[in-house]
């Protein structure tokens, strides 16, 4: 069974809880990512996803709207040595598409539903054609 470490993203976009949500949304677009890690110093405080940004827009973003107003606090995490199957189960049952991967208190990567689909498709691709 593949482990998450072999499929996670390591080039992570991090933001602070007090960052303006509009600026963070622009950074997400520039980097073409669907989620950012919200850090307080070295600690994971939350995650802000494209879905959270959409909800913020629906609620009416103001100039003073910050990440902490709409982030998911204390997101589900798992070890990078857990299997991709375990990640898929957590994501499907939890209703989310991005999973921070941690070793101890340190965030080391992010796994997305897209990453998991690549695992499935790599294993299902015809060989020797």
Spell out, as residue ranges, where the chain has pLDDT lower than 50: none
pLDDT at 1: 79
User: Which of 1, 72, 7, 87 lies closest to 36 in space, CA to CA?
Assistant: 72
pTM for the model: 0.88
Q: What angle do CA 3, 7, 8 make, to 5 degrees?
A: 105
Tell me yes or no: is domain 4-124 CATH 3.10.580.10. yes
pLDDT at 121: 80
Helices of type H across 1-129: 21-31, 50-59, 84-94, 113-124
pLDDT at 63: 83
C-alpha distances in Å from residue 1, one per residue of 11, 59, 81, 104, 108: 24, 42, 11, 23, 20
**Cα–Cα distance, 71 to 17 (Å, whole number):** 8
pLDDT at 62: 87
């Amino acid at each position: 069974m593949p482990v998450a470490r072999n499929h996670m993203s390591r080039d992570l976009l991090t933001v602070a809880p007090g960052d303006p949500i509009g600026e963070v949304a622009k950074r997400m677009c520039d980097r073409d990512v669907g989620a950012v890690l919200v850090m307080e110093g070295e600690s994971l405080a939350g995650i802000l996803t494209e879905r959270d940004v959409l909800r913020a827009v629906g609620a009416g973003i103001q100039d003073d709207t910050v990440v902490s107003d709409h982030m998911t606090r204390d997101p589900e995490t798992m070890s990078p040595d857990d299997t991709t199957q375990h990640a898929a189960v957590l994501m499907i049952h939890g209703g989310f598409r991005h999973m921070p991967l941690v070793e101890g208190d340190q965030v080391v990567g992010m796994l997305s539903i897209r990453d998991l689909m690549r695992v499935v498709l790599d294993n299902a691709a015809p060989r020797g054609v």
